Amino acid sequence: MNMDGSERMGYLRGEITVDNRTPYKWTVCIENQTPRLFYDRYNTFAVEPHKKTQQCQTLLTKWVQTIYLKVKYGQCSETECYTDPDLWYKFDPRDDPCFTIRESGDHRQIHLDCSINYEEKKSTCPNYEKIEDDAREEEENRRRYEEQRRQAQLEHERRIEEQIKRESELAAKKLSQATETLKQRLRLRGHEVHHQTHIMQQPLDTEVEIDEVPEIEKKFMELLFEYQITEDEDSEETLADRMKTLQNELMVEFCKKHNLSSSCVFSLNTAVGYETLPLHHRLSVLEAVMHVVFEENEEDHTQKNEQDFLLDLL
């Protein structure tokens, strides 16, 4: 306590120290509540991060006065500081008190300590800056996670599209190879087709001798059994129609599965001259189609055997 001639004149002076040991700015208000005949007095100032400031407080000795030190986070108005403080002490300036603003060990709270043990006080409050930092960090982490999840989803979709594209290209290539193989085989046996022209141009019911139909139907049924295909028992279609219906259904399903145009069905029929083929050649085409459709996932060396097999069909 500073003692000088002012005490004899009815005044007392005290020195108040505020030591800010936090990385945040605070607004400090010293409120001097006087008797009703006088207005309350305020001394408001800011304390910068990691700075210490001292204020001299003068009071009249003949009046009873109540003095508070009030602290509020950040830069704010005088009214905000003394009406809604975050921390405060009721103190006596004659004690020359030193107030210290500090963070708790876990940085979650702010403490206002005093060198004098005053009883009336609010000496702790949440660390608002830490709360804001945590909220910002949480939001940033959430955005980062959402972006990573979105990128992962896009990458997953891209890989699926690439896989579908590769499978479609492979299926189209295999279909093209099978079609070309059949065309080559037909050209190699063109002389046989030439000798059978008069048979091919006749209606289907007269293309094959009556004793050849049971043998072809037997082979057809063996194919159905081999690939576990069940026909409609009530069907009244001829053997030729049954074979053509099955072949078209398999080709359409194959094209759908591999995103190919349904025109592939007609391309194959045109390439092999399907409508002019005798019944046993149609069975060979059907068998080749079934082989491609049902054994498409085998390894490359099996594909080579598949092509050799197609060469032996017709």
Taking only the tens place, the pLDDT of each residue in 23-38 is 999 999 999 887 766 6
**Can you tell me the mean pLDDT for 280-301?**
75
The rounded distance, in Å, linking the Cα atoms of 50 and 22 is 6
**Can you tell me the mean pLDDT for 36-50?**
86
The rounded distance, in Å, linking the Cα atoms of 5 and 187 is 130
| CA geometry: angle 235, 238, 240, nearest 5 deg | 125
Alpha helices in 228-274 (DSSP H): 239-257, 263-272
HSE at residue 251, side-chain half, CA atoms within 13 A, is 24
The sign one gets for the Cα dihedral 154, 156, 161, 162 is positive
Give the model's pLDDT for residue 228. Answer: 84
Phi and psi angles of residue 73, each rounded to the nearest 5 degrees, phi first? -65, 135
What type of residue sits at position 16? I
Least confident of 53-67, 135-149, 194-208, 241-255: 194-208
Confidence band, pLDDT 50/70/90 cuts, at residue 309: very low
Closest of 56, 57, 62, 55 to residue 8, by C-alpha: 62
Query: CA-based diameter of the chain, in Å?
Result: 144
More confident of the two residues 178 and 78: 78
Residues 6+ apart with CB under 8 A from 258: 167, 168, 171, 172
3-state SS, residue 208: coil
Q: Determine which helix (DSSP H) or strand (DSSP E) holds 138, and give its type and residue range.
A: helix 128-188
CA distances, 122 to each of 71, 82, 119, 272 (Å): 10, 13, 9, 97
CA distances, 124 to each of 50, 83, 98, 109 (Å): 18, 17, 16, 7
Give the model's pLDDT for residue 225. Answer: 85
**Taking the domains of the chain in order of start, what are their residue ranges?**
11-126, 127-193, 238-295
Residues 6+ apart with CB under 8 A from 33: 40, 65, 66, 67, 68
Average pLDDT, the chain: 80
Give the model's pLDDT for residue 208. Answer: 47
3-state SS, residue 171: helix
More confident of the two residues 297 and 18: 18
The rounded distance, in Å, linking the Cα atoms of 131 and 108 is 8
Q: Determine which helix (DSSP H) or strand (DSSP E) holds 44, and give its type and residue range.
A: strand 41-47
Both ends of the chain: CA-CA distance in Å? 119
Residues 6+ apart with CB under 8 A from 273: 186
**Can you tell me the mean pLDDT for 64-86?**
92
The rounded distance, in Å, linking the Cα atoms of 128 and 61 is 39
Fold of 11-126: Immunoglobulin-like (2.60.40)
Least confident of 29-33, 52-56, 173-177, 187-191: 187-191
The pTM (predicted TM-score) of the whole model is 0.47
Counting every residue written for the chain, the total comes to 314
Radius of gyration of the chain (CA): 49
Q: What percent of the chain has pLDDT over 70?
A: 79
**Can you tell me the mean pLDDT for 26-52?**
88
Q: Which residues pair with 114 in a beta bridge?
A: 99
Confidence band, pLDDT 50/70/90 cuts, at residue 201: very low
Closest of 243, 250, 253, 242 to residue 290, by C-alpha: 250
Give the model's pLDDT for residue 62. Answer: 54
**Can you tell me the mean pLDDT for 163-189?**
79
The rounded distance, in Å, linking the Cα atoms of 30 and 16 is 9
